Structure 1
Amino acid sequence: MTITYEWRGGFDNAALNALHADGFGPPIAQTDWRTRLERHSLGWVCAWEDGGLIGFVNVVWDGGAHAFILDTVVARHCRSRGVGAALVAKAADEARAANCEWLHVDFEEHLRAFYFDACGFKETTAGLIAL
């Protein structure tokens, strides 16, 4: 089975909502992803296998040098196959092509090895305010 990765790929809101529920836990939301992404994102990467959406990452930006990845998700049955790292690599390539100088990510502690080891992010000092 071949996995393909598509920058700013077309997708169905229902399919992306189902993928999010599979990856992050139920319930299945009714988010209008297309409207949200068109308004706030530099782009996004979709991963496809056999016509099904199996992975996704959103790349938001400040309109200049900084891009941020959000919502990295891979279908449970496709994990540990390099899909997530490939999504992030494609996101980095496209952010670089848009003349961004930095790609940021925030993550939960259990994802540390994924982002640092598999994706190549470096540890930095950062701040956060819970709102």
Structure 2
Amino acid sequence: MFIGTSNQGDLFNAFRDFVFAYTVYQLFLLVTFKLVDSLKDDGFNSIKGIISTVELYKGLNMAIPISYLDKWFEKKENPMYTLTKQQREIINTLVKYAHAYNRGIVTKDQLTLKLKLLSIFVENELNCLKFGWMNSILLRIFK
């Protein structure tokens, strides 16, 4: 007898139902986490593209095109783009620094430092998304 069961068949059915429910639960979590992580991954890859473009113009001693910066500012503000608050803040910082560089307020070295720091941060975030423990609800909460 086990938790109100009257024979072996009931115990087996209860165990089978538990395994089925747990499997569905795990699949739901896995799919949900993978989708959320893919959205974050896409946003960070977009930021890497912005950093690379700004570095290219800076390396050639050219002003970063205002149209390029305005495009990213508009994308950052558009709710249709699935960017996290953190990603929107990074894009805002990049756009502000690039505008300041164009106006001569920020030096080439200051811009280089900011780009390198943001690049390191973005790489770290992308690496964290690949960790296996990211599939745990509790570990995601405490991270």
TM-score (norm 1): 0.25
Say which one has the larger Rg: 2
Tell me which protein shows more helix as a share of its residues.
2
Higher relative contact order (CA 8 A, sep 6+): 2
TM-score (norm 2): 0.24
